[in-house]
A and B are shown apart, each in its own frame.
Chain A
Amino acid sequence: MSLSGFEVEVQRQGNAGLETEEMTLNMGPQHPSTHGVLRFVIKADGEVMREAIPDVGYLHRSIEKISEKVGYHGFMPYTDRVDYVAAMFCNQGWSMACERLAGIEVPKRGEYCRVIAAELNRISSHLLFLGTMILDIGAMTPFFHTFREREKINDLLEELCGARLTYNYMRIGGVAWDLPPNFAERTLEFLDALEPALDEHNDLISYNKIYVERLANIAVIPPDLAINYNLVGPNLRGSGVHYDIRRDEPYSVYPDLEFDVPIGTGEVGTVGDCFDRYIVRVHEIKQSVRILRQCFQQMPTGAVIAKVPRKFKPPAGEAYVRIESARGDMGWYAVSDGSEFPYRCKIRTGSFSAMSIIDRVSPGLMIADLVALISSLDVVAPEVDR
C-alpha cells in the first residue's frame, strides 16, 4: 500500500523530532454515518487507523426469542423489524422457511406478487444505499435525487400493503393481497422514469473524478477473504465472485426470469474496492427493473395464497432456506417441534458478516475512509443485532 500524504509528512519530519503516539477514539453509538446505532473503538496514529473494533448490540431486541413466543403467523410483522430497509425479504425468508417445514406450495401468482414486491424493495433499498453512501462521502445533492425516486416506491408499496417500511405483506403460503388495480401500469410508468434518472445519477456522481478517487483502491477485499468471512450478496459480488442465489440456487419464479449478475471488475481501481461494491448495486437496480418488466408480462391469473390452517402446526423437523435479499444471502433456520410455536428460529444476515470483517480490513485506512468502508458494505445495524 502506498503511503498517504500524512505518512509521507511524518516520515519526512521524523528526524526533526516530530513524535507520534497512538490514540484511542470513540465513534458512535450516535453517528450519522453508522447507519443505525453502533459504535467503533478506533486506535489511530494521527489520521491512520491501526484498528477499528466494532461494538454492536445496541439494537438487539431478541427477535429470535420472540419467535418462540408468538407462533408462526404472529412472527411475520416482527420479521419486518430485522431489516427495516428491505423488509420484504425478511417476510419472504420467514414464509419460505415455514413453507419448507410444512411442505406448502405457493400458487404461481402469489410467487409473482412476492417477486414484484421484493424487487421493488431491492430497488428502494439500493437507492437508499446510493444516497447515504454519497452523503457519507460528502456530497449532498445526489441524496435528494435517489430519495425522490425511493419515495415513489414507498408510495407504490403503500398502495400494495398499506405500509411504507414495515410491510407485513407476505403470509405463509403466499401474499396477503393481490396487486391493486392499475398497479402494473403505475409501476411500469415509474420504471420508465427510473432508468433515465439512474443514467443522470451516473453522469452526476458515479464517475465523478472526486468521488471515484475517494473510493478507488480503498478497503480492498479479495474474493477468498470475502468467502472466508461469509460476505454475501453485492459485497461478495463486488469482490468479483460471480454468485447470486436467485440464479445459482433458484427459488420462487426466478428460473423463469432473465437477468444478469453484475460483479466488480476493478474498473477504476482494484477488484473488491469500495467503488466496486458501490457500482455493483447501481447495476443491480437495472437488473431488478428488467425482472419487474418480465414479471408483469408473465404473471398468470389465479389465487395468491395457498390454503393454510389458521392454527399452523408444521410437523417436527427443521428447514434452512437462503434467499437473495438486498444485502445478500439471508439464511433462515427454523426448527419445529410439532407445536404451534417455532422451537427455534435463527436469522443469519448479510450485515452481520459484513460488520465482522471491518476490524480485519480497517488497519492502515484513514479515519475518513472507515466511513466509506462502512457505507460501501451497506450495513444496516438492526440486521446485525436482531
Chain B
Amino acid sequence: MDATGIHERLKARFEVGVGECNSTAKDPCITIDPAAIAAVCRFLHDDPDLRFDCLSNQSGVDYKAKEQIQVVYHLYSYPHRHRIVLKVDVPRETPALPTVEGVWKAANWMEREIFDLLGVTFDGHSDLRRLLMPEDWIGHPLRKDFVEPEEYHGINTSRESLLR
C-alpha cells in the first residue's frame, strides 16, 4: 500500500492525532501527534492489510531553530513489502512521548539511545537508562547546543592536551 493509502486508513481509524501526509518526499512520511503515537503504531502493526511488523529504524533529530525534537520511525512490513515514515514533534524543553516498546521490542534499545543522546523521555518504557554514554554523563551529546565538558573524572578531553 502506498503512503496515501496508509494515510487514508489512519485518518479513517483515528479521529484525532493523525496529521499531514507528505507523499512527494523521497521517503513519504506522516506526522503524528505525540499522544497518539503508541495507538497508531499498534494499529499499523496489527491491521492485516498494513502489518508493519518491523521497526526498521527509530531516530531523533534536534531542530533547535524550531525548538523541537523530532522522533522519526521508519517502518517496514515483511509480509506486504511496503514502508512508511512516521514523524513526531515534541517540544525541545520537555521532550516526552509514549514508548512503542510494547509493539516492537526493537524500540527498547533504540529509545534508550534517543534518551541517552538527545534527552527524550519515553513514557512507559521498561528500562529507560543511558545506553552508550556513561551513567554519570551530564547532557545529551546529539543536541545541537551540547558543549563537551573539559574533563571527565580527571581525564582531560581537549584535543590540545593530546598534541602536547
Nearest A residue (CB) for B103: A228
Point out which of A56, A100, A319, A344 has the most chain B C-beta atoms below 10 A from its C-beta.
Answer: A344
Question: Is residue A311 within 8 Å, beta carbon to beta carbon, of the partner chain?
Answer: no
- The answer for the CA separation of A63 and B78 in the assembled complex, in Å, is 30
Expressed in whole angstroms, the Cα–Cα distance for A177 and B75 within the complex equals 36
Picked from B26, B57, B132, B133, the residue with its CB within 8 Å of the CB of A346 is B57
In contact, B133 and A60 (Cβ under 8 angstroms):
yes
A-B contact count, CB below 8 Å?
80
| Contacting residues, chain A, for B57 (C-beta < 8 A) | 320, 331, 333, 346, 348
* Residue numbers in B under 8 Å from A208 (CB-CB): none
Interface contact B78-A227, CB-CB below 8 Å:
yes
Taking CB atoms, residues of chain B closer than 8 Å to A15 are: none
A residues in contact with B141, CB < 8 Å: 62, 65
Which B residues touch A65, using CB under 8 A?
A: 141-142
Contact, CB under 8 Å: B78 / A346: no
The 4 A-B pairs at the shortest CB distance, nearest first, are namely A230-B106, A346-B59, A356-B109, A57-B132
A78 to chain B, nearest CB (A): 15
Whether, in the assembled complex, B128 has its beta carbon less than 8 Å from a beta carbon of chain A, the answer is no
Query: Is A352 in contact with chain B by the CB < 8 A criterion?
Result: yes
Given contacts A228-B53, A230-B56, A348-B57, contact A360 B27 (CB under 8 A): no
Q: What is the 8 Å Cβ interface bit string for chain B, positions 69-110, against chain A (1 contact, 0 not)?
A: 000101000100100010000000000000000001110111
User: How far does the alpha carbon of A241 sit from the alpha carbon of B76 in the complex, in Å?
Assistant: 15
In the complex, which residues of chain A have a beta carbon less than 8 angstroms from the beta carbon of B134?
57
Q: How far is the CB of B41 from chain A (nearest CB, A)?
A: 13
With contacts A320-B27, A343-B61 taken as known, whether A230 is within 8 angstroms of B54 at the C-beta atoms is yes
Q: Chain A, 310-334, contact with B by CB distance < 8 Å: what is the 0/1 string? A: 0000000111101000000101010
B37 to chain A: which residues have CB within 8 Å?
none
Q: Is A353 an interface residue (CB 8 A)?
A: yes
B25 contacts A by Cβ under 8 Å? yes
B55 closest partner in A (C-beta): A230
> By the criterion CB–CB under 8 Å, are A228 and B104 in contact?
yes
**B131 at interface by CB-CB < 8 Å:** yes
Most chain B beta-carbon contacts within 10 A, residue among A225, A317, A320: A320
State A249–B27 Cα separation when bound (angstroms): 14
**13 contacting pairs across A/B (C-beta < 8 A):** A56-B131, A57-B134, A64-B117, A224-B53, A227-B53, A228-B53, A230-B56, A333-B59, A344-B61, A346-B57, A353-B109, A356-B105, A357-B105
Nearest opposing residue in chain B for A360, CB measure: B105
CB pair B132 A60 closer than 8 Å: yes
B86 to chain A, nearest CB (A): 12
Asked if A333 contacts B72 (CB within 8 A), the reply is yes
Residue of A nearest to B130 (CB): A57
**A52 in the interface, Cβ–Cβ < 8 Å?**
no
Q: Which B residues are CB-close (under 8 A) to A57?
A: 130-134
Contact between chains at B132 and A56 (CB < 8 Å): yes
Query: For the complex, is A385 an interface residue (Cβ under 8 Å from B)?
Result: yes
Number of A residues near B (Cβ < 8 Å) is 39
- Measured in the bound complex, the distance between the Cα atoms of B92 and A82 in whole Å is 29
In the complex formed, the residue of A with least CB distance to B27 is A320
Contacts of A386 in B (CB 8 A): 132
Q: Is the beta-carbon distance between B109 and A317 smaller than 8 angstroms?
A: no
Which residue of B is nearest A343, CB measured?
A: B61
CB < 8 Å neighbour of B106 from A100, A101, A249, A356: A356
Question: Chain A residues with Cβ under 8 A from B85's Cβ?
Answer: 320
B104→A230 contact, CB < 8 A = yes
Q: Known contacts A60-B133, A65-B141, A228-B104; is A100 also within 8 Å of B56 by CB?
A: no
Report Cα–Cα, A360/B127, bound state, in Å.
14
A230-B55, A348-B57 given; name 18 further pairs at CB < 8 Å.
A57-B131, A62-B141, A101-B26, A224-B53, A228-B53, A229-B106, A319-B26, A322-B56, A329-B56, A331-B57, A333-B57, A333-B72, A335-B61, A344-B59, A346-B59, A348-B56, A348-B110, A356-B109
B residues in contact with A230, CB < 8 Å: 54-56, 104, 106
The answer to whether B72 touches A228 (Cβ under 8 A) is no
The answer to whether B78 and A241 touch across the interface, beta carbons within 8 angstroms, is yes
Distance of A133 from chain B, by nearest CB (Å): 23
Note all chain B residues with C-beta closer than 8 A to A147: none
Chain A residues positioned under 8 Å from B131 (CB to CB): 56-57
Check if A248 is an interface residue, CB within 8 A of chain B: yes
* Contacting residues, chain A, for B117 (C-beta < 8 A): 64
Binary interface encoding of chain A residues 335-350 relative to chain B, with 1 for a CB under 8 A from any of its CBs, else 0: 1000000011010100
Interface membership of A251, Cβ < 8 A? no
Which residue of chain A lies nearest to B72 when distances are taken between CB atoms in the complex? Answer: A333
The interface residues of chain B lying within 8 Å CB-to-CB of A333 are 57, 59, 72, 74
Question: Restricting to B117-149, which residues have a CB under 8 Å from any CB of A?
Answer: 117, 130-134, 141-142
A243 at interface, CB cutoff 8 A? yes
